[in-house]
């Protein structure tokens, strides 16, 4: 599994983790939602589950659940500030379409999903 964090994303995640010293890491994955099918999840991981994979990048433990792996493999995660707004941005080669509002995305149907 290959997920890359840009320097800006690592810095932002380090600040998340500094505010939650007991955290196991940062959970990254997808959930079914929105008009296109899936949305990204980036949140503090309280624990690592049995089916989770953990990637360590410069001290950031990225926790990915088994069902999300096919959807996020190959993704680059960035953190971008534009004016007063700041958010994570995902460059995901698995995405085949996005909704108009940019909150959800689709991927090709997979037998293992």
Give the pLDDT mean for 41-46: 95
pLDDT of 113:
46
The helix (run of H) or strand (run of E) holding residue 82 is strand 76-82
pLDDT at position 35, please? 65
What is the per-residue pLDDT across 46-79, written as a single tens digit (0 to 9) for each? 999 999 999 998 899 999 999 999 999 999 999 9
Domain coordinates in residue numbering, the chain: 4-107
Q: How many CA atoms lie within 13 A of 40 on its CB side?
A: 22
Fold of 4-107: Hypothetical Protein Aq_1857; Chain: A; (2.60.300)
The CA-atom distances, in angstroms, between 93 and each of 9, 15, 39, 90, 97 are: 18, 27, 15, 10, 11
């Amino acid at each position: 599994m290959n997920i890359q964090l840009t320097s800006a994303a690592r810095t932002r995640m380090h600040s998340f983790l500094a505010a939650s010293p007991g955290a196991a890491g940062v959970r990254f994955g997808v959930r079914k939602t929105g008009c296109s099918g899936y949305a990204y999840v980036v949140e503090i991981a309280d624990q690592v589950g049995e089916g989770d994979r953990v990637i360590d990048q410069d001290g950031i433990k990225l926790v990915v659940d088994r069902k999300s792996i096919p959807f996020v493999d190959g993704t680059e995660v960035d953190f971008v500030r534009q004016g007063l707004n700041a958010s994570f941005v995902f460059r995901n080669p698995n995405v085949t379409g996005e909704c108009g509002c940019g909150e959800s995305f689709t991927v090709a149907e997979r037998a293992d999903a």
